[in-house]
Amino acid sequence: MTTNRTRVLIVLFDGLRPDLIGPTTTPNLHRLQQQGVTLARQRTVWPSETRTALTSLVTGTSPAGHGIVGNSYLDRTHMPPRYADTGDDRAVETLDAVAGGRLIGTPSLGETLASHDRTLAVLASNSAGATRLLNHKARKLGQLTLSGHHPRVATSTEMLASIEARLGPPPPSEPKGTSDLAAQQWMTSAFLDIVWPEIAPDVTILSYSEPDVSSHYIGTAAPATLQAIAFTDAQFGRVLDWWEAEGRDAGVQVIVASDHGHVTARRRASVGDALATVGLRCGRADEPGVDAILIPSQTGALYLREPSDEIIRRAVAAMMEAPWCGPVFTAARTGTEGIAPGSFARHLALVEHARSADIMFCYRTDDDPDPFGLPGGTWSQDWPLGFGIHGGLHKKEMASVGIMAGSAFKSGHQSSTASGIGDFAPTILSLLQIGRPAGITGRVLDETFSRAVADLPAMQEDAHEIASGAYRQGLLRLRVGDTIYLDHGWAESR
C-alpha cells in the first residue's frame, strides 16, 4: 500500500539526443511531452560523459564540485598517482575508501534522502560503475540498487532473489555491435512488478543504457539504433501506462532525462604526433617513460609528468597547430585566459578541481550531417570512425533530454529557459520539501511548476572568444540567477 505523499521517478535514456524524440520513433516520450514540461534548452555538464553527468544528476553540482572529472582520470592527490576508471563498481568503492569516504565532494541524493528518512532506489543497465555512482553509498545507507546486467552490484540479496524468482537473473551484457534490449525489459518489469508494489521508494532512478550502446557500436541513427530507441521507448510506455493508471494518483512526479547526446566520429586524430613535434612523448598511464599521460576518452585529458607552465604552453601550442584541436582549457592566468596562450581558464568550463588534468581539451567538431542525416561530427583519437561518440562541447553532445510531468508541473508546456542535469536534484528536494545541502550549484526549476512563482530569474548569455596565432576558440555559457550552464564550445583555424 502507498500513501499519496510526493514521490519522484527519474527515467534516464543514456545518450538520447533530443532531436531523436518524435511521435513515430518514441510515441511514449512524445505522449509524456504533451502532459508535462519539455526543457527545450536542457544541457549536460562537460566532460559530456556518462559517469560525470550522472554524478552531477545526483549531487546537483558540476565536476568542479563533485570531483568526478571524467569517466576516467589520474588522481594525483594520492602518491603514487592513482589511475581511476569509474566504470567498475568495485573500483568506485575502493576509490571512495581510499578517499576516506569523500570520493564525491558533495552530498549525493541518496545521502540527503537518507538523512530525512526517505528512500532512493536505483535500477540501471549502465556500466557497473555508473550504476554504483548513482548512489555510491547505497550499501551503507541500506538503500536499493539493482543492475540490469551485474548481480554483484545489488545491495539487497533478498530483493534480487525475489526478482530473480519472478523474472530470472539479469541478462548478460550483449556483445559489441548488438543492441542492449533484454536488460531494459528486465529492469522495467522489476520496477513495475516488485520494487514499486513492495517498497514504493520516495525517489526511483530507472536508467536505460540505450540508445548509448547502439549509438556507439552501430551508429547514431542507424536502423538498428532507431529500433533500440523504439524498443526502450516501449518499455517506458509500460511505465507510463502504470503512471497514468496508478502512479500519478499516488503522487508520483516523473522526470525523463538523458545524460548527453552523440555526434559521429569521422576523422582520426593523433595527439602523440602533435606533442612529439615539441619533444614530448605521449602515452597511457601504464606506459613507462612518457612525458604526457593521455586518458583514453573522447574528452581530452593530458596529465604531464612535469607540469610546469613552460611545458604546458609548449604542449598546447603544438596541439593548436593540429587540425583536430578543439577548445582547450588550462589553469587560470586571468579570469578568462589559461596559462597557455589561446587557452581558456578551466574554471570557465566548471572543471577546476584537484583531479583535473593539466590540459583539458575537446576534439574539433563540425555541423555536417553524418551518414544518417544527423548534424554533428568530430575527430577522435581512437574511436572507430562512423560510429557515435560523446565527451566534447558540440551542441549536440551538450544538448540532453529533459521532460517533467505530474501534478507539480505545467502541462503541455515548453520551457526555453536554460536548465541542466544538475538542476534535477535541487528540484526533487524542493518537491519533497527537503532543504538543499551545501555544495549544490544547480537551481530549482521553478519555471516548470504548475503553481505560480514570482520573480523568475532571466536567462543571460555569456560568450567568450580567445585566439593564439591562427587558432581561435569560443565558449558560450548561459546563466540563470547564480547557476551557470555550458551551452557549447567551438574552435577553428583562421
Domain boundary among 331, 360, 383: 383
Closest by CA to 196, choosing from 150, 254, 132, is 254
- Which pLDDT does position 453 carry in this prediction? 79
Closest by CA to 130, choosing from 112, 113, 149, is 149
Give me the numbers of helices (H) and strands (E) for the chain, helices first please.
16, 25
Residues 254 and 296 grouped into a single domain? no
| Residue 89 located in a structural domain | yes
- Which pLDDT does position 211 carry in this prediction? 98
Distance of CA 284 to the CA centre of its chain: 24
Residues 148 and 65 grouped into a single domain? yes
Residues 202 and 146 grouped into a single domain? yes
256-to-29, 131, 188 alpha-carbon distances in Å: 8, 17, 14
How far is Cα 124 from Cα 204, in angstroms, rounded to an integer?
A: 10
pLDDT in tens, 59-91: 999 999 999 999 999 999 888 899 999 999 999
Assess contact for 239 and 9: CB atoms under 8 A. yes
| Residue 288 located in a structural domain | yes
Q: Name 487's Cβ contacts closer than 8 Å, sequence gap at least 6.
A: 41, 43, 395, 398, 418, 461, 476, 477, 478
Residues 252 and 316 grouped into a single domain? no
- Which pLDDT does position 2 carry in this prediction? 54
| Residue 425 located in a structural domain | yes
Residues 32 and 73 grouped into a single domain? yes
Distance of CA 376 to the CA centre of its chain: 18
Question: Is residue 140 classed as helix, strand or coil in its secondary structure?
Answer: helix
Question: Is residue 290 classed as helix, strand or coil in its secondary structure?
Answer: coil
- β-sheet bridge partners, residue 472: 467, 492
pLDDT in tens, 216-264: 999 999 999 999 999 999 999 999 999 999 999 999 999 999 999 999 9
Ordered mean pLDDT values, 10 residues apiece, the chain (494 residues): 81 98 98 98 98 98 98 92 95 94 97 98 98 98 98 97 98 95 98 98 98 98 98 98 97 98 98 98 93 95 97 98 98 97 98 98 98 97 96 98 98 97 98 96 96 84 97 98 97 94
Residue listed under C-alpha cell 597557455: 340
Residues 441 and 374 grouped into a single domain? no
Torsion over CA of 195, 200, 203 and 209, rounded to 10 degrees? 20
CATH number at residue 96: 3.40.720.10
Per DSSP bridges, beta strands 120-124 and 203-208 are parallel
| Residue 115 located in a structural domain | yes
| Residue 477 located in a structural domain | no
CATH number at residue 356: 3.30.1360
Would the pTM of this model clear 0.85, i.e. be above it? yes
Residues 301 and 315 grouped into a single domain? yes
Residues 153 and 56 grouped into a single domain? yes
Tell me the one-letter amino acid at 190.
A
- β-sheet bridge partners, residue 413: 37
How far is Cα 258 from Cα 98, in angstroms, rounded to an integer?
A: 31
Q: Report the chain's C-alpha Rg in angstroms.
A: 22
Residues 159 and 75 grouped into a single domain? yes
Residues 218 and 322 grouped into a single domain? no
Distance of CA 162 to the CA centre of its chain: 31
Closest by CA to 421, choosing from 21, 36, 33, 62, is 62
- Which pLDDT does position 1 carry in this prediction? 43
Closest by CA to 124, choosing from 103, 153, 91, 164, is 153
Assess contact for 71 and 439: CB atoms under 8 A. no
Residues 303 and 409 grouped into a single domain? no
| Residue 469 located in a structural domain | no
Domain boundary among 344, 365, 383: 383
Question: Is residue 451 classed as helix, strand or coil in its secondary structure?
Answer: coil
| Residue 300 located in a structural domain | yes
Residues 220 and 318 grouped into a single domain? no
The tally of domains found in the chain comes to 2
Residue listed under C-alpha cell 563540425: 366
Q: Name 195's Cβ contacts closer than 8 Å, sequence gap at least 6.
A: 121, 123, 144, 146, 159, 163, 201, 204
- Which pLDDT does position 3 carry in this prediction? 60
| Residue 492 located in a structural domain | no
Domain boundary among 363, 383, 403: 383
C-alpha cell at 428: 526533487
For residue 355, the enclosing domain spans 267-383
